[in-house]
């Protein structure tokens, strides 16, 4: 397989969600350029509309007229978060600090994901949560209140929980401090600082000092490194050529997959590195190399948690064993990704073993794979095995290709275009 061309991946999903939320809460007008228009971000836009924000249709260049920190309105219907955990958890923090109540719902997959982890710190701040089923999943009703400040020591590294607490403190105008066991993606902190909020990170703690308003600020959204990782992996698995991935976010808290691919032997470099919208951005150029197994664990995991499915597929084509530990969070993503990765690798003929907090893949070099992949409706499982199936001679059947639209609506077209 030879790869060639330039890929411009969709706008970063995490930044797109936050750009809409902060635009809605800002004083004044916010322009968002390059935002993702996939299903998950559509869910955030829909929830903000239900809360009284005049959110325009999502576009590559859009303007949001903010309602201010205390301008949200009680919704007249459920807040439908679709498949988006970011929508549910971050907006739970915002609603918890607002004088209103709202019932959050989602699809079957999202409804099975744990919301207690965000409810507990927000309850300690003074909000009230009602869950309708065991397991603390959706539906949940959040009753906003006048919140008090909080110092929260998280047991699990979660950028979504951290962000929910920071946003609750912002709207409530109270100080909050979050201690993380390991550092997670820091888009919320960067974007708040760009809007005049005093946010400090020191010795594993993120602190927000209250202020009465949030200034509006334009936001450029770079390419999503999680989406770019699929094509970086495709280039690493190819026999010849290279791929250029334009304007990709290389924020160190998100670029772990690129570092791992380089460590495994792929030839990967950054060109034209610059800062845009408060984020480091570059063209990522990737060419094949001799791939070898690696170990992933500890503080490295949060920087590549969403990329572990595609890294597992690369590991199947490397020489030797790859081991991932400390990735318990994969159990509560859109699917149980540890189980889905291992079962699907075995289904297509690779050797893999499930661990409580990760997995082991015993690679045998580049070769064709064949079998049927069960995605469980998980976009990252579908795309990861789509890349593996692009190896010449492979015959991988994916049960639900459409779920890729959650984060990368044009994935299959791009895959066909650059794998020649």
User: Are residue 54 and residue 186 in the same domain, yes or no?
Assistant: yes
Residue 21 resides in a domain: yes
Residue 1 lies in a domain: no
> Does residue 245 sit in the same domain as residue 391?
yes
* pLDDT one-digit tens code per residue, 278-321: 899 999 999 999 999 999 999 999 999 999 999 999 999 999 99
Q: What are 31-89's pLDDT values in tens digits?
A: 999 999 999 999 999 999 999 999 999 999 999 999 999 999 999 999 999 999 999 99
The CA distance from 244 to 237, in Å, is: 15
pLDDT computed for residue 374 by the predictor: 98
pLDDT band at 211 (very low <50, low <70, confident <90, very high): confident
d(CA 327, CA 356): 9
Say if residue 295 is in the same domain as residue 207: no
- Are 183 and 226 within one domain? no
Q: Is residue 67 classed as helix, strand or coil in its secondary structure?
A: coil
Looking at 220, 250, 283, the residue that finishes a domain is: 220
Q: Are 125 and 168 in contact (CB under 8 A)?
A: yes
Q: Which of 247, 306, 235 lies closest to 10, judged by CA? A: 247
Radius of gyration of the chain (CA): 21
Tokens 């971050």 belong to residue: 90
Verify that 119 and 92 share a domain, yes or no: yes
Specify whether 248 is located in the same domain as 210. Answer: no
Q: Is 4 part of any domain?
A: no
CA pair distance 382, 377, nearest whole angstrom:
8
Q: How far is CA 235 from CA 222, 230, 232, 287, 296, in A?
A: 21, 9, 5, 5, 21
Average pLDDT, the chain: 97
Looking at residue 177, the DSSP 8-state letter turns out to be E
Residue 420 pLDDT: 78
Q: Which of 164, 186, 220 is the last residue of a domain?
A: 220
Is residue 165 located within the same domain as residue 107? yes
Q: Is residue 175 part of a domain?
A: yes
- Measure CA of the first residue to CA of the last residue in the chain; give whole Å: 6
Q: pLDDT tens, 138-149? A: 999 999 999 999
The CATH number of the domain holding residue 285 is: 3.65.10.10
Residue with tokens 């297509």: 348
Q: What is the pLDDT of residue 212?
A: 80
Q: Cβ–Cβ contacts within 10 Å for residue 189, how many?
A: 23
- Shared domain check, 345 and 209: no
Q: Is residue 178 part of a domain?
A: yes
Distance CA 135, CA 144 (A): 22
Catalytic amino acids?
Answer: 306
Identify whether 285 is part of a domain: yes
| pTM of the full structure | 0.96
Residue with tokens 């070099």: 365
**47/179 same-domain check:** yes
In this structure, are residues 98 and 144 in contact, taking their beta carbons and an 8 Å threshold?
A: yes
Q: Is the same domain home to 232 and 376?
A: yes
**DSSP letters along 303-315, please?**
GTGGGHHHHHHHH
Q: Helix, strand, or coil here: 187?
A: helix
Task: Clarify whether residues 185 and 239 are in a common domain.
Answer: no
In three-state secondary structure terms, 204 is coil
Structural domain includes residue 334: yes
Q: Considering the domain boundaries, does residue 282 fall inside one?
A: yes
State the average pLDDT over residues 93-100.
Answer: 98
Q: Which domain holds residue 286?
A: 222-418
Q: Report percent pLDDT > 70 for the chain.
A: 100
Choose the final residue of a domain: 220, 243, 273: 220
Q: Domain tally for the chain?
A: 2
139 and 229 share a domain?
no
| Per-residue pLDDT tens over the stretch 4-40 | 999 999 999 999 999 999 999 999 999 999 999 999 9
């Amino acid at each position: 397989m030879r790869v060639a061309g330039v890929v411009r991946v969709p706008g970063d999903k995490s930044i797109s969600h936050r750009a809409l939320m902060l635009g809605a809460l800002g004083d004044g007008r916010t322009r968002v350029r390059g935002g993702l228009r996939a299903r998950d971000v559509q869910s955030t836009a829909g929830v903000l509309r239900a809360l009284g924000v005049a959110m325009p249709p999502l576009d590559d260049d859009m303007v949001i007229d903010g309602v201010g920190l205390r301008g949200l309105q009680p919704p007249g219907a459920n807040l439908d978060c679709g498949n988006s955990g970011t929508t549910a958890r971050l907006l739970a923090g915002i609603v918890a600090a607002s004088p209103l109540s709202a019932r959050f719902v989602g699809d079957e997959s999202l409804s099975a994901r744990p919301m207690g982890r965000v409810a507990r710190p927000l309850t300690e701040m003074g909000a009230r949560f009602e869950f309708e089923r065991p397991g603390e999943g959706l539906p949940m009703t959040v009753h906003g209140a006048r919140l008090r400040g909080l110092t929260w020591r998280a047991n699990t590294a979660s950028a979504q929980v951290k962000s929910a607490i920071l946003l609750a403190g912002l709207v409530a105008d109270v100080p909050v401090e979050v201690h993380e066991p390991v550092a997670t993606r820091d888009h919320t902190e960067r974007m708040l600082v760009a809007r005049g909020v005093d946010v400090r990170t020191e010795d594993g703690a993120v602190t927000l000092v209250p202020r009465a308003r949030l200034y509006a600020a334009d936001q450029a959204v770079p390419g999503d490194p999680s989406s770019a990782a699929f094509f970086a992996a495709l280039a690493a698995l190819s026999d010849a050529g290279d791929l250029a991935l334009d304007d990709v976010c290389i924020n160190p808290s998100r670029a772990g997959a690129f570092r791992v691919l380089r460590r495994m032997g792929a030839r990967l470099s950054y060109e034209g590195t610059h800062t845009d919208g408060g984020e480091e951005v570059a063209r990522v150029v990737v060419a094949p190399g001799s791939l070898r197994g690696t170990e992933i664990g500890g503080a490295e995991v949060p920087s590549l948690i969403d990329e572990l499915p595609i890294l597992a597929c690369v590991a199947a084509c490397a020489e030797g064993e790859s081991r991932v530990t400390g990735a318990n969070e994969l159990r509560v993503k859109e699917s149980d990704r540890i189980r889905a990765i291992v079962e699907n690798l075995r289904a297509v003929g690779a050797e893999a073993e499930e661990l409580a907090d990760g997995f082991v893949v015993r690679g045998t070099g580049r070769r064709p794979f064949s079998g049927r992949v069960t995605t469980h409706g998980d976009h990252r499982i579908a795309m990861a095995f789509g890349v593996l199936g692009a190896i010449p001679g492979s015959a991988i059947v994916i049960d639900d290709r459409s779920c890729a639209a959650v984060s990368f609506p044009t994935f299959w077209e791009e895959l066909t275009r650059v794998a020649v």
